[in-house]
Structure 1
Amino acid sequence: MKSTSLNYPITDSNWIEKLCRWADAHYEFFAFTNGNSYEYPEQPFATRFLAGNNQLTEKEIWAESTGFKKVGIIGYDFKNKLEKLKSENNPFFELPELCFFQPSFSLKFEGENIYSDVELTDEFWIEIEKTELPNSANTSCAVTPQISQEKYLATVKTIQNHIIEGNTYESNFCQAYSGSFENWDPIGAYFKLKKLSPMPFSALFKAKSQWLVSASPERYLKRTGSKIIAQPIKGTIRRGQSLAEDAVNRETLANSEKEQAENLMITDLMRNDLSKVSKTGSVQVRELFGIYRLPRVFQMISTIASELKEGVSFSDIIQASFPMGSMTGAPKIRTMEIIEELESFKRGWFSGAFGVIEENGDFDFSVIIRSIIADLEVKKLYFGVGSAITYDADAVQEYEECSLKAQAILEVLSGK
């Protein structure tokens, strides 16, 4: 990629916002990713911008060695193409299960340099600089939870009965908030959310009228050559309001047998998934029960790595591992059936995966959580939150954990 010196370092969010607003006016698709300089095993998302007008067909998405980047989303309900499953809950609005585009240009930001895969003209820089930012971004949207607290608590009890009967060991039960709007600014919402909750897999994605505004803390999969890693998150506790409380909460999470048991089940599930496409004996748990500090919570994260078999394709990898085990539970297929029976909404893009596939087949995908999904044409948005329900889970604590995960998004949608 060609390097261009930039007078506006990437810490200047105004310049990045101008770039996004310029792209919104000129392109049907664009994406901006930012790892927010996190110390994250195997690195967070790179800081990148990609834009284009060419939406890819399913055949083009799965094709190997195309020689161009692919950017997009695999929706949760794509599971139905991989297994004998169904999604019969009502959607908030229709979303494509696969939504990818081919960028006509991409930028990578490192320090005060931009690396571009095309020659950038003086006119490009002038256009960006002339792009006007709105005086205020309307990010307010009244949302309501789709199930009551009473219904949530009763559903947790139902899941625990399934556990007693041996149908599932752990189920990631999710609830959703949804709302309608007349005018809503996804770009403004992204920068507000990024300021409130900067995350290692922060992303803004436009696909015509549909948008993903993401503050995801979780990686689904990253491939580098023949190496692949998965990083499931299971285990959450709020940050303390003082250094002392922060330290106590961190230790509480690190030493929680319940949270470790949840994390271990999903780590084992991901080891099993990766073993289907990996060389025999190569699947290793690189880190178990790592505790990582995020803006509002500590998360327990494990890292599983392996060497892929010769000739394994992107399609093979998705077939073996999608959706991310942390968003389903174990055993995976039966638990997804239980989730479908008990949840009140069609997940759509929520708990699917977003990422970039490179020209050489390398890729990096996040799990779509802590994210707003919106359609400006139908003027609706929603977001989901969930937690792992196990036999010894306390339903009230699980409900409070979901509220904690929803907090930053609710603040953005309050418009304050």
Structure 2
Amino acid sequence: MIAPIKNLPLFKQKALQWASSFDAVCYLESNGFNDPYSKFDTLIAIGTKDEVTTHAGHAFDQLETFRQNNPGWITGFFGYDLKNETERLSSANPDGLEFPDLYFFAPLHLIIIKDGKTEIISDESEQIFKLIDQQELIMYTEQLAIVLKSRFSRQEYIDAVKGIQEHISRGDIYVTNFCQEFFAEYAQIDPLGIFIQLNEVSPNPFSTFFKWKDNYILGASPERFLAKRGNKLISQPIKGTAKRHIDVQVDEQIKQQLRNHPKELQENVMIVDLVRNDLTRSAKQGTVKTEELFGIHSFEYVHQMISTVVCELQEGLSAIQAIKNTFPMGSMTGAPKISAMQLMEQYERSKRGVYSGAIGYLSPDNDFDLNVVIRTLLYNSANQYLSFHAGSAITYHADPEKEYEECLLKAQAVMEVLGVTR
């Protein structure tokens, strides 16, 4: 069923409200950002015909089997700690969320919005359209301030960055992404209300509301991890961040400073090289290339430096294998990749879990699109544990105090909607 919608924002909010009553929901929102690689403006996957839930070990093999049994649309997430399956690594840091490392589901109902038209793919499409249309929107109450804790004090974070830089000086690594967790125990939030506010405060091209039973992922990600279009793979790593300014002229100056900042350029090119190397595992020989280097893209709070790396997919290589070959994404690890991940396991004080993993879909034509889980709030409503991470790229020339401030900048939107007190 395909129908034009007069008030699209209202329809989407009603559809999400209706969908959130199911045990499994994946809402992917582009927020109007123009992207030549996107298949839709909004996708809502609702309810489960089939699902796979697993931890690192044989997760990618299980997903491969699940995909073969479900060749239509599937949506889900990859946790960062699947690194322990792709490489000889381990995770021993505390985990308050207890999410699985991988969860995918084949939806009962699917809503796709593209260019103002809405398609409902379901055995009950007309009934669903009526149910959504009849929804009365719930008025969400203002969030009571959350008392947030951090795994690091400011000084502890700065000291840790200095320790990491000693490893860089010794040549153990060149660059890494060092992350810290902000968390709250006994936290009570309205996940849907928080997501709607987050999406208003910080609209981004890979925003996500994901529900799996009592677990929620509320994301405002600006970053694509990996997409497949036909025989083409696309990765768009972000490295380089600058705070926006309300004054238009000053804001433009900040953009130019970011475009020419030696440290930011160094970070970005290092990760581009890493992504190029990762893609060679899945590429036809000689096809890996950089489509855009050091592109500056503007979002609500920040300007970001984004590069685009592409290749042609090897014949006979499955979509799942292509994902596995590049996971986790280079922008959240560092270089050399394995050494950086090993080192961050020592310096970080919490398990990343879904953070710096990926959320997205595979479509019936076997294309896929996956984001990077950043600027994202994670919530286990059963044990009332709330968590989000923020990180920054550490290089030899990094200023530890500025890196700490960058973490707070990246966490700003999430903190705002939580009414955080620290």
State the match for 2:228 in structure 1: 223
Give 2:47's aligned residue. Answer: 52
Question: Is the Cα contact below 8 Å between 1:137 and 1:189 reproduced in 2?
Answer: no
Aligned-CA RMSD value: 1.8
2:32 matches 1:37: yes
Q: Which residue does the alignment assign to 1:275?
A: 280
Contact 1:142/1:413, CA 8 A, preserved across alignment? no
Q: Which of 142-151 and 222-231 deviates more?
A: 142-151
What is the alpha-carbon distance in structure 1 between the residues aligned to residue 39 and residue 258 of structure 2? 22
CA contact (8 A) 1:45 1:201 kept: no
Partners of 2:40 and 2:113 within 8 A in 1: no
Which is worse superposed, 406-415 or 114-123?
A: 114-123
Aligned CA distance change for structure 1 residues 45 and 115 (closer, same or farther; 3 Å): closer
Residue 386 of structure 1 aligns with an amino acid whose one-letter code is: G
Superposition pairs of residues 223-242 of structure 1, within 5 angstroms: 223-242=228-247
Match of 1:353 in 2: 358
Which deviates more from structure 2 when the two are superposed, residues 111-120 or residues 57-66?
A: 57-66
Q: CA deviation at 1:182?
A: 5.1
Moved more, 124-133 or 159-168: 124-133
1:10-409 pair list within 5 angstroms: 11-12=9-10, 15-25=11-21, 27-40=22-35, 42-43=37-38, 46-53=41-48, 54-56=50-52, 58=59, 61-63=63-65, 64-65=67-68, 66-118=70-122, 120-137=124-141, 139-140=143-144, 141-181=146-186, 183-409=188-414
After superposition, the C-alpha distances for 1:263-319 in whole angstroms (9 at most, x for unaligned) are: 000000000000111001100000000001111110000000100110111332133
Question: Matched residues in 2 for 1:186 and 1:165: separation?
Answer: 45
Q: Describe the SS at the equivalent of 2:31.
A: coil
CA distance in 2, matches of 1:340, 1:198: 31
Q: Which SS does the other structure have where 1:341 is aligned?
A: helix
SS at match of 1:103: strand
2:20 alignment partner, SS class: helix
In 1, distance between residues paired with 2:176 and 2:198? 28
Distance apart, 1:18 and its partner CA:
2.3
- 1:250 alignment partner, SS class: helix
Distance 1:388 1:369 in 2: 13
Q: Deviations over 1:159-199 (max 9, x none)?
A: 00000111110010001110134531111111100000000
Q: Is the 8 A contact 1:61 1:70 kept in 2?
A: no
* Number of residue pairs matched by the alignment: 411
TM normalised by structure 1 equals 0.95
Question: Using the alignment, how far apart are the partners of 2:246 and 2:128 within structure 1?
Answer: 45
Structure 1 stretch displaced more, 132-141 or 196-205: 132-141
Partner Cα separation in structure 2 for residue 207 and residue 375 of structure 1: 10
- Normalised to the residue count of structure 2, the TM-score between the two structures is 0.93
Which whole-Å CA distance do the structure 2 matches of 1:281 and 1:182 have between them? 51
2-structure distance, mates of 1:390, 1:131: 51
CA distance in 1, matches of 2:224, 2:285: 24
Does the 8 A contact of 1:48 with 1:107 survive in 2?
yes
**Cα offset, 1:145, TM superposition:** 1.7
**1:254 & 1:298 partners in 2: Cα distance?**
10
Q: 1:180 & 1:131 partners in 2: Cα distance?
A: 33
Q: Secondary structure at the match of 1:32?
A: strand
Identity between Structure 1 and Structure 2 (%) = 38
Matching residue's letter, 1:156: V
2:7 counterpart residue number = 8
CA distance in 1, matches of 2:97, 2:196: 24
Distance across 1 between alignment mates of 2:13 and 2:377:
18
Q: Distance in 1 between matches of 2:350 and 2:367?
A: 33
Instruction: Give, in angstroms, the shift of residue 237 of structure 1.
Output: 0.2
Alpha-carbon separation, structure 2, partners of 1:269 and 1:333: 11
Greater shift in the superposed pair: 52-61 or 390-399:
52-61
Separation in 1 of the partners of 2:125 and 2:119?
14
Name the SS for the 1:56 alignment partner: strand
Deviation at 1:70, TM superposition (A): 1.3
Deviation larger for 257-266 or 180-189: 180-189
Point out where structure 1 has 5 or more consecutive residues left out of the alignment: none
Tell me which moved more, 42-51 or 386-395: 42-51
User: 1:280 corresponds to which letter in structure 2?
Assistant: Q
**Further displaced range: 302-311 or 56-65:** 56-65
Please say if residues 287 and 304 of structure 1, whose CA atoms lie closer than 8 Å, have aligned partners that are also in contact: yes
In 2, are the aligned partners of 1:73 and 1:352 still within 8 Å (CA)?
A: yes
Task: Give, in angstroms, the shift of residue 17 of structure 1.
Answer: 2.5
DSSP 3-state at the match of 1:272:
helix
CA contact (8 A) 1:44 1:200 kept: no
Cα-to-partner distance string for 1:237-284 (whole Å, 9 max, x where unaligned)? 011120111011000000011111100000000000001110011000
Residue 350 of structure 1 aligns with an amino acid whose one-letter code is Y
Which stretch shows the higher mean deviation, 103-112 or 361-370? 103-112
The separation in 2 between residues aligned to 1:293 and 1:405, in whole angstroms, is 14
Shift of 1:347: 0.4
Distance apart, 1:7 and its partner CA:
3.7
Quote the offset at 1:22 in angstroms.
1.7
> How many angstroms does 1:21 deviate by?
2.3
